[in-house]
Amino acid sequence: MEPLTKILVVDDDKSARKSIRSILEKEGYVVVEADDGASGLQQVKTDPPDLILLDIVMPRVDGIKVCRAIKSNPEYHKIPILMTTSMGSKDDIIRGLESGADDYVVKPYDRSELLARIKTFLRAGTLLKQLEREKRDLLAILDISNTITSTLDSRDVLFSIVKKIAEIIEVNRCSIVRIDADGHRGFVVATSEDPNIFNIPIALEKYPEIMKVLDTKEIVVINDIDKNPIVASVRKYLSKTIFHSLLVLPVIMKQNVIGTILLRTARTRPFEEREIQFCQIVANAAANALINASLFESMELANAHLEKLATTDGLTGIFNHRYFYRRLDEEFTRSERYNNPLSTIMLDVDGFKEINDTLGHRTGDRILKELAVVLKSKIRKSDIVARYGGDEFVILLPQTDRQGAEMEANRVARSIMSYQFESLPESGIKVSYGISTYPNEHILKADDLVTIADRSLYAHKAKNKNQTPVPK
């Protein structure tokens, strides 16, 4: 007999209910009573029992209607129902069985027969529940395996694993922690609470349960954090959380613990062997996904580095010619679509050739680096500055008309003139600039913005030799 097994007795005869209660409570069953069919149905919905003893003959809602209502509901149809009827009521018995009852007992009750039938159906119900749990576990494992083999995205795989574990084991939080090769650092690569969490660093010394797994390579089960010595050092912290029990399983690859699956739950019942075995199977399957996640992270970093190299000017560290044209095409398309203004400033250093010839190219390079820093610090957040080539720089100004662009160019030019360059301690530098703005009848495509700004720059240089032009 399972502890705290609950039996619902539905009978309008008070003495019959009292008789059954006396028999069942002596066997340790929890007995709940209902004195009519409607109350019995409500009790099933409120707190489903493990078995129902249901009288057939009752006023208003009889046992036949109650039985049909329960058996037609997918949520409750697996609850065993034993019909109770008076001796000799053969027709009632047939009607009860046809309505879906699992068996019947005849009044007055024979104690041994009643208990034997109850135990038989409870045992069958326990086996059925076990089979259903095992089926659910197998389907979950199959689902995880399919996910692992059907996608190359390790983040999707890892989140699928923790989400499925949290559903099957019914825990408050399930996480996968990747362990660095040195064994000193941990990273949360997936958690059932948030699919966006990935690669969050954690201090392993704050997780003695994980440290224990790393040390022993064995599963750690903590059914009561208030009593288990493993978490003594962090008990004060854990006591402030909702968690009551922990389960940590190693994820092992080639004899090395490369990660752990960490389950935390508020429930007070201990982890079942079935649950631990399920998680162990999943942990074994998770090894490759965790390796792939590590490789994925390395590839992401490498790709980010390559992307930076591809879009950044090697000398100045600001965006390069290639990246500028990509953004120019994007912003020009947006301006055409929404009829927004778009401006470009082309800017170069006056007399830069003389600087190189007099002070050397290395000094010229240092000046360009400093100039890039000044430009980057002076432009607006929405603007894009890039090195166009040589000593030429270009600034893209989305949603900026001609007047705004002239104000911006003048402000930037004056900032450069007033800046004390380290490579030119006794003198500063002057710059010239040219501006173009869309919409303009001569600007039909994105490249026209650059062409017109470039022409404007050299027109200004010719007109204002060695002087910073003042906007009209």
The pLDDT tens digits of the residues spanning 115-173 come to: 888 888 888 777 767 666 766 766 666 666 666 655 556 777 788 888 888 888 888 99
Mean pLDDT over 232-252 rounds to 90
pLDDT of 330 strictly over 80: yes
pLDDT tens, 407-429?
999 999 888 888 888 877 677 78
pLDDT at 256 over 90: no
Query: Could you tell me which residues come within 8 angstroms of residue 41 by beta carbon, excluding any fewer than 6 positions away?
Result: 61, 66, 69, 70
**Encoded tokens for 126:** 């326990």
CA dihedral of residues 263, 267, 272, 275 (deg, nearest 10):
-40
pLDDT exceeds cutoff 90 at 220:
yes
Look at residue 2 in the predicted model and tell me its pLDDT: 44
pLDDT band at 469; cut points 50, 70, 90: very low
Helices (H) and strands (E) in the chain, counts: 14, 15
- Per-residue pLDDT band for 272 (boundaries 50, 70, 90) equals confident
Residue 354: which pLDDT band, with cuts at 50, 70 and 90?
Answer: confident
Whether the Cβ atoms of residue 193 and residue 167 lie closer than 8 Å to each other: no
Minimum mean pLDDT among 149-153, 399-403, 458-462: which range?
A: 149-153
> Count of alpha carbons within 13 Å of 284, Cβ hemisphere only?
6
Which residues pair with residue 319 across a beta bridge? Answer: 312, 386
Confidence band for 299, pLDDT divided at 50, 70 and 90: very low
pLDDT beyond 80 at 389:
yes
| Integer Cα distance of 176 and 18 in angstroms | 53
Q: Mean pLDDT of all residues in the chain?
A: 83
Side by side, which strands form the sheet with 173-179?
200-202, 186-191, 173-179, 256-265, 245-253, 220-222
Q: Mean pLDDT across the stretch 288-310?
A: 57
Q: Which amino acid is at 205?
A: E
DSSP strand pairing (220-222 vs 200-202):
unpaired
Contacts of the segment 324-328: beta carbons below 8 A, 24+ positions apart: 324/384, 324/386, 324/388, 324/394, 324/396, 325/446, 327/384, 327/396, 328/396, 328/446, 328/449, 328/450
Range of weakest confidence among 335-344, 388-397, 418-427 = 418-427
CA distance 241 to 110: 52
- Strand order of the β-sheet with 81-86 is 30-34, 6-10, 51-55, 81-86, 103-107
Q: How much is the average pLDDT of 358-383?
A: 88
E strands in 14-172: 30-34, 51-55, 81-86, 103-107
Quote the pTM value.
0.45
Say if residue 197's pLDDT is above 90. Answer: no
Is residue 63 a contact partner of residue 10, using CB atoms and an 8 Å limit?
Answer: yes
Q: Which carries the bigger pLDDT value, residue 389 or residue 128?
A: 389
Which tokens belong to 263?
């389950």
Grouping H, G, I as helix, E, B as strand and the rest as coil, residue 431 is strand
What is the rounded average pLDDT of the residues 200-214?
91
> What was the pLDDT predicted at 155?
76
In terms of C-beta density within 10 A (0-12 exposed, 13-18 middle, 19 or more buried), how is residue 335 classed? buried
Instruction: Give Cα 119 distance to the centre of its chain.
Output: 45
Mean pLDDT of the region 75-88: 81
Distance CA 392, CA 330 (A): 22
Q: Are 278 and 141 a contacting pair, CB within 8 Å?
A: yes
**Interaxial angle between packed helices 90-98 and 63-71, expressed in degrees from 0 to 180 and rounded to the nearest 10:** 20
User: What pLDDT is recorded for position 98?
Assistant: 84
**Alpha carbon distance 344, 384 (integer Å):** 10
| Per-residue pLDDT at 3 | 52
